[in-house]
A and B are shown apart, each in its own frame.
Chain A
Amino acid sequence: MVTLRLAPVAEHALLVEFGDTIHDATSERIAALDRALAAAPPAGLREVVPGMVNLLVDFDPLVTDHAAIEAAVRDCLGRPAPASAAGTRREVEVCYDPDLGTDLSAVAGQTGLSVDEVIAAHLGGDYRVRMYGFTPGYAYMSGTPAAIRLPRKPAAVRGVPAGSVIIAGPQCIVTTLLMPTGWWVLGRSPTRILTGDEDRPFLFDVGDPVGMRRIGRDEFERKARRAVAA
């Protein structure tokens, strides 16, 4: 059982920590508290931000305070959480051409697999969205198979394009902006996480299961063009 730590953040938030290590059981507890707070929001609640091993509860200090929010959190933890929605299975299309998956051969070299085996392993992962973080639409998925898990590179590489499918440890992300990253680039996706649709601006909900589907270059180019035009 993980220990619970509640830490105040300035005058307007409480960080609920469920331990130090990323674990499916921890993610489930975070998701359960997230659902419980959404089902019965305490007075003054502004927003709840799930992390990998913790959850931030942000509140209006003119309405409530740390003690009242802590009591509400403990109350939620003491009750069975509302049932989890199964989540909607989402599909991410990936083109693994070597000029897009610039680290495929490096990952193959480090893991002792062939490039085709690296791709097969990535396609075979059982992914789930655990949190968004860092920057808009950056959805951290768990589920990268053990055979291709690598620590981050020692230094970040600049100018990694939006749509890059990147992995580090058990995590996988489809990037949304041009930015530096120390993660390993396996391919490129035309699937937009920032959908541009005002009614549903983000493709994933936290908790959604995700599958990767391989596409060829023609399909990638066609869909990438359409995504830009949208």
Chain B
Amino acid sequence: MTTARLRITHAGPHVSYQDGGRPGLMRFGVPASGPMDRTAHAAANLSVGNAADATAIEVSPAGLAVECVGEAVTFAVAGGGFLMDHAGSRSAVWEARTLCAGETLRIMPGHWGSWTYLALAGRVRAKEWLGHTATLATSGFGGGLLATGQEIVVEERRVDPARERSFPCPVFARPTSHARVVIGPQEHRLEPDALSALLDGVHALSDSYDRMGVRLRGPALAIREALSIPSEPIVAGSIQVAGDGVATILLRDHQTTGGYPKIATVLAADLDRIVQLRPRARIAFKAVTPARAVEIARQAAGARSMWLDRLARHP
């Protein structure tokens, strides 16, 4: 078994190690973290023969550049409309190739998308916290952020030319500006017209966007009651309204409880898609019943697993 080493010649902010996440610990104040776009992360991993939840590198629009300083390794980049430059050859991501000794790989933003994933065939070495390498950005716990000058180490690295191919982003993983929500759980703590402002108003993502959440711009959502609500559990996708009437969609590294009312919650299936929107992109919210939301989750999971299974089986 050999080890591949990639020297990091550039790592922008918000580039982190992420495995599939550490679910089940919210009762200890720990959100699941893990990839912002779980479908793209799983696709990158499966396309090179890794487990879907293996440790990969989440790359922000700030980009990542590496140089292979040792053994060759097969890699894939998937997520958003990012671009890559592999040893001088530029292409879209959603592609697997092999990085040979001395070659460089540069990942940079393209026409759309906020997150892309670099998977490396083998086992990416990263610090574990509570059994997972997923990085919790607020604390740096887990694998952590990547920094220029460090090395990415891939143990038991593999080279698998048969897996080198492109696998275009499936329609169901493209970003959507129509997020489906279930109303509540604290819609009763807002003025009645707040719901219509959420559902009928035009909203946009603000620049205040990171792994914890994204603040929205749009009509203010008026809160009815004083802000002394005892803290309540939060999930990824909770739309929380602060005292100033500004809504925030909480994302993977969300705080686990909060005292601001949550007017609605984005379906998990849509969350992987709206995180690929960029600041200033418009977003609209459509309410569905809880029963319909479960149907949507089942349909989405079916399509997703069929596509991912096919990707994993190749070649």
A-to-B contact residues, CB < 8 Å: 7-13, 15, 17, 20-22, 46-56, 58, 61-62, 65-67, 131-140, 177, 198, 201-202, 206
Contacts and interface: CB of A to CB of B under 8 A. Distances in A.
A12 B235 contact: yes
Contacts of A56: 26, 232-233, 235
A160 B181 CA distance: 36
A17 B229 CA distance: 12
18 contacts: A9-B182, A11-B293, A11-B294, A11-B297, A12-B235, A17-B185, A21-B230, A49-B27, A49-B256, A61-B294, A61-B297, A132-B28, A133-B231, A135-B255, A136-B139, A137-B28, A139-B29, A140-B231
Instruction: Kindly list the 9 A-B residue pairs having the minimum CB-CB distance in the complex, ordered from nearest.
Output: A133-B257, A7-B185, A11-B293, A56-B233, A52-B230, A10-B265, A8-B290, A132-B29, A61-B297
A137 B26 CA distance: 10
A62 B297 contact: yes
Contacts of B291: 65-67
B256 A135 contact: yes
A8 B292 CA distance: 12
Given A20-B229, A22-B230, A47-B27, A10 B139 contact: no
Given A131-B257, A133-B231, A134-B255, A48 B27 contact: yes
A15 B23 CA distance: 18
Nearest to B181: A10
Given A10-B268, A11-B267, A67-B291, 5 more contacts: A11-B182, A11-B269, A49-B256, A51-B231, A177-B139
B258 interface: yes
Interface string B1-32: 00000000000000000000001111111100
Contact of A58 (B235, B258, B267, B297): B235
A20 B186 CA distance: 12
A9 B235 contact: yes
Contacts of A202: 28
B234 to A, nearest CB: 8
A22 B284 CA distance: 36
Contacts of A17: 185
Contacts of B267: 10-11
B96 interface: no
A134 B258 contact: yes
B266 A10 contact: yes
B306 interface: no
Interface residues of B, number: 45
B281 to A, nearest CB: 21
B167 interface: no
Given A7-B185, A51-B232, A133-B231, A65 B294 contact: yes
Contacts of B131: 198
A137 B136 CA distance: 13
Contacts of B181: 10
Contacts of A12: 235, 268, 297
B301 interface: yes
A47 B23 CA distance: 8
Contacts of B231: 51-52, 131, 133-134, 140
Given A15-B232, A56-B235, A66-B290, A201 B255 contact: no
Interface string B271-314: 00000000000000000001101101110010000000000000
A61 B297 CA distance: 7
B196 interface: no
Contacts of A10: 181-182, 235, 237, 265-268, 293
A30 to B, nearest CB: 11
B138 interface: yes
A151 to B, nearest CB: 9
Contacts of A137: 28-29
Contacts of A133: 29, 231, 233, 255-257
Interface string B247-259: 0000000011110
Given A11-B290, A132-B28, A54 B139 contact: no
A45 B239 CA distance: 23
Given A47-B23, A135-B139, A54 B28 contact: no
Nearest to B185: A7
